Amino acid sequence: MLIYRFLTGVDDSAFCHKVTKALSEGWQLHGSPSYAFDAARQCMVAGQAVTKVVPDQPYDPDRKLIDY
């Protein structure tokens, strides 16, 4: 089964660490990162999709994706 997450955060080193942590846990980058200006916070926000192949099992929407 392929699972999907979209990581977001202010475009800073903490966001890079979040993506790096996901990669170290077996997630793979999916597509290009995205950027948008958050007018309320007056900062750039980054996003990156990641996917991971996990053993086939029933999908449970109440289960956290990091628990697969």
CB 10 within 8 Å of CB 45: yes
- How far, rounded to the nearest angstrom, does the alpha carbon of residue 3 sit from its chain's CA centroid? 11
pLDDT tens for the 68 residues of the chain, in order: 999 999 999 999 999 999 999 999 999 999 999 999 999 999 999 999 999 999 998 899 999 988 88
Cα(63)–Cα(65) distance, integer angstroms:
6
Q: What global pTM score does this model have?
A: 0.85
Residue labelled with tokens 């800073």:
12
User: What integer pLDDT is reported at residue 67 of this predicted model?
Assistant: 83
Cα(60)–Cα(37) distance, integer angstroms:
33
User: What integer pLDDT is reported at residue 66 of this predicted model?
Assistant: 81
Alpha helices in 1-68 (DSSP H): 13-24
